[in-house]
Amino acid sequence: MTIRSTYAFDTETAQAIRALAKRWNVSQAEAIRRSVRIAMEQQANEPTPAEVLAHYREQGAPRSWEETLQITEQLRQARAADDRRRTGRQD
């Protein structure tokens, strides 16, 4: 059974669909079907965020507390630098 649907894509996505269809020598609809199947297969092998959280609650983080604090500080600095870059601030 075929279900006909209409979707709105941005230009970049529409171009990517056309490129995949051409590369795979299939229709655009088949390119979308294959892409969805591939995405679902990849996602099926990945844990959900809840599973990841449960794992770390049970097993603990794969690093020491000091390493975690160090990484946290590095990430804060990187985010602050990115914020400054995006807003044009130089402080």
In a domain, 5, yes or no: no
Q: How far is CA 73 from CA 68, 70, 81, 86, in A?
A: 9, 5, 12, 20
pLDDT at 91: 62
Q: How far is CA 66 from CA 51, 57, 61, 72, in A?
A: 25, 18, 12, 10
Total structural domains within the chain = 2
Domain boundaries, position 30 = 11-44
Cα(66)–Cα(26) distance, integer angstroms: 53
pLDDT at 67: 93
Q: Do 28 and 53 sit in the same domain of this protein?
A: no
In a domain, 19, yes or no: yes
Q: What is the pLDDT along the chain (91 residues), one digit of tens a residue?
A: 889 999 999 999 999 999 999 999 999 999 999 999 999 998 888 888 999 899 988 988 788 889 999 999 999 999 999 999 988 876 6
Answer yes or no: pTM beyond 0.75: no
| Helix extents (H) in the chain | 11-24, 28-44, 49-59, 65-87
Q: Do 58 and 83 sit in the same domain of this protein?
A: yes
Q: Do 30 and 53 sit in the same domain of this protein?
A: no
